[in-house]
């Protein structure tokens, strides 16, 4: 690990002013310390934000607010979250391990870096780590890589389960820098790689995610996160789906669908949603809608299975939530 200096600000304003060139904010450290050991990330200064007051989990009339420093485990087990947004709780509980969930912050989860093996191995080129150096994954080992939102520069998946659930629920994040703040839809926050895979999101230097806001959606009580992976626990998704379903007699009244493990960012699927609305609850409807999920997919040598797998994952989630299995 490279040397760094260490600061512990006591206010958001001070955190922004402490943030200098080549600084990184330190919260739970589960991504950052790991990548600093690998020398994938080499900050010369860490600004430890753990003493800042970005806490609280509150359900109000306009929705759910979660402080960015709340731990994944605390949000996952919060009774309001479990009752009103089960998809958030399930996405969190299917992430990482109990120890990591006790450490990792909600804000940090949204900023975790890809698990692409080439990104994590400094002896190989990687456009995300070293712009312009090339992408060995495109012609290399790419079984776990993305089929949606890829470019000739990068095919790495976004690893967060939480982000998939939040994008499905149309959540926003509050970004703060000094005395300025702005609210950004999480779906808009993330960039697809294009020619600049190193620019992963809208965050500006010195800017912090301070809060997550999830709109009120009473029928999200019928929501779930389904994650398909190589082993049943403690593994990243091959495919996953975050879904909420509003049912009227035997028809779909409304739906929210986003998928993970297949996109270079959490992949929102408004077309699948539109195809479901007003349709009868049955497998044929679900399969027809799920086909739309992979429009424009560009499978690679080892990950073509994800095209069908993600469709099946969506159908399974719909069958479960629709009470058909």
Partner 1 sequence: MSRNLNDSSDLPPDAQAGSSRRQFISRLAAISASLSVAAPLARSATTTEGTALEGESPKKGTEGSLVEINFKVNGRPQKLEVDPRVTLLDAIRDRLDLTGTKKGCDRGACGACTVHINGRRVLSCLTLALMAQGEEITTIEGLAKGDDLHPVQAAFVGCDGFQCGYCTPGQIMSAVGCINEGHIRSDTEIQEFMSGNLCRCGAYPNIVDAIKMAAGQMKAGG
Rounded Cα distance between 93 and 91, Å, is 6
Contact indicator for 171, 214 with CB cutoff of 8 Å: yes
The angle formed by the CA atoms of residues 10, 111 and 224, to the nearest 5 degrees, is 115
- The contacts of residue 324 (CB under 8 Å, 6+ apart) are 281, 282, 283, 318
Please work out the total of residues on this chain that contact partner 1, with binding judged by CB under 8 A.
27
* Cβ 95 to partner 1 shortest distance, Å: 11
* Cβ 226 to partner 1 shortest distance, Å: 15
Exactly one of 10, 11, 44, 50 binds partner 1 (CB under 8 A); which one? 50
The yes or no reply on residue 271 touching partner 1 (CB under 8 A) is no
Give the residue carrying structure tokens 């002896």. 123
The yes or no reply on residue 6 touching partner 1 (CB under 8 A) is yes
**Residues 134-159: b if buried by 16+ CB within 10 A, e if exposed:** ebbbbeeebebbbbbbbbebbbbbbb
Q: Quick one: which segment of 94-102, 107-115, 156-164, 268-276 binds partner 1 (CB under 8 A)? A: 94-102
The yes or no reply on residue 96 touching partner 1 (CB under 8 A) is yes
Q: Quick one: which segment of 53-61, 96-104, 126-134, 191-199 binds partner 1 (CB under 8 A)? A: 96-104
Rounded Cα distance between 141 and 146, Å, is 12
Query: What mask, x for binding partner 1 by CB under 8 A, covers residues 55 to 74?
Result: ------------------x-
Task: Name the burial class of residue 212, with classes exposed (0-12), middle (13-18) and buried (19+) by CB atoms within 10 angstroms of its CB.
Answer: buried
The tokens of 179 are what? 């005395």
The yes or no reply on residue 33 touching partner 1 (CB under 8 A) is yes
Rounded Cα distance between 21 and 28, Å, is 21
Nearer to partner 1, 26 or 87 (CB): 26
Measured CA distances, 266 to 48, 299, 321 (Å): 27, 17, 21
Exactly one of 34, 170, 181, 254 binds partner 1 (CB under 8 A); which one? 34
Rounded Cα distance between 280 and 64, Å, is 31
Nearer to partner 1, 49 or 289 (CB): 49
Q: Which of residues 228-267 bind partner 1 (CB under 8 A)?
A: 233-234
Query: What mask, x for binding partner 1 by CB under 8 A, covers residues 198 to 227?
Result: ------------------------------
Exactly one of 14, 42, 48, 254 binds partner 1 (CB under 8 A); which one? 48
Exactly one of 29, 136, 140, 194 binds partner 1 (CB under 8 A); which one? 29
The yes or no reply on residue 5 touching partner 1 (CB under 8 A) is yes
Nearer to partner 1, 168 or 208 (CB): 208
Q: Which of residues 104-163 bind partner 1 (CB under 8 A)?
A: none
Rounded Cα distance between 38 and 31, Å, is 11
% helix, strand, coil for the chain, step of 5: 30, 25, 45
The tokens of 284 are what? 């044929």
* Cβ 28 to partner 1 shortest distance, Å: 8
Q: Quick one: which segment of 34-42, 55-63, 169-177, 197-205 binds partner 1 (CB under 8 A)? A: 34-42
Strands 45-48 and 63-67: unpaired
Please give the residue ranges that form the binding site for partner 1 (CB under 8 A): 1-6, 8, 26, 29-30, 33-34, 37-38, 46, 48, 50, 73, 96-100, 102-103, 233-234
């Amino acid at each position: 690990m490279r040397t760094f200096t260490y600061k512990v600000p006591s206010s958001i304003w001070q955190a922004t002013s402490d943030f200098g060139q080549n600084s990184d904010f330190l919260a739970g450290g589960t991504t950052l310390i790991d990548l600093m050991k690998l020398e994938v990330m080499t900050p010369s200064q860490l600004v430890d934000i753990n003493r800042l007051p970005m806490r609280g989990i509150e359900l109000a009339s306009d929705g759910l607010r979660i402080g960015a420093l709340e731990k994944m485990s605390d949000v996952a087990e919060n009774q309001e979250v479990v009752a009103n947004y089960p998809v958030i709780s399930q996405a969190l509980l299917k992430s990482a391990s109990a120890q990591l969930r006790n450490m990792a912050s909600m804000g940090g989860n949204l900023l975790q870096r890809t698990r692409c093996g080439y990104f994590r191995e400094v002896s190989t080129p990687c456009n995300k780590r070293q712009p312009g150096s090339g992408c060995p994954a495109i012609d290399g080992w790419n079984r776990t890589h993305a089929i949606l939102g890829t470019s000739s520069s990068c095919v790495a998946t976004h690893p967060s389960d939480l982000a998939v659930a939040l994008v499905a629920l149309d959540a926003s994040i509050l970004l703060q820098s000094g005395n300025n703040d702005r609210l950004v839809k999480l779906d808009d926050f993330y960039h697809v790689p294009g020619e600049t895979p190193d620019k992963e999101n809208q965050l500006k230097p010195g800017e912090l995610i301070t809060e997550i806001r999830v709109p009120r959606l009473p029928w999200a009580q019928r929501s779930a996160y389904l994650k398909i992976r190589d082993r049943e626990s403690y593994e990243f998704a091959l495919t996953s789906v975050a879904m909420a379903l509003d049912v009227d007699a035997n028809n779909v009244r409304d739906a929210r669908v986003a998928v993970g493990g297949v996109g270079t960012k959490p992949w929102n699927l408004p077309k699948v949603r539109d195809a479901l609305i007003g349709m009868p609850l049955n497998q044929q409807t679900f399969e027809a809608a799920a086909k739309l999920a992979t429009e424009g997919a560009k499978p690679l040598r080892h990950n073509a299975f994800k095209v069908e797998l993600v469709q099946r994952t969506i159908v399974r989630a719909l069958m479960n939530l629709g009470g058909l299995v």
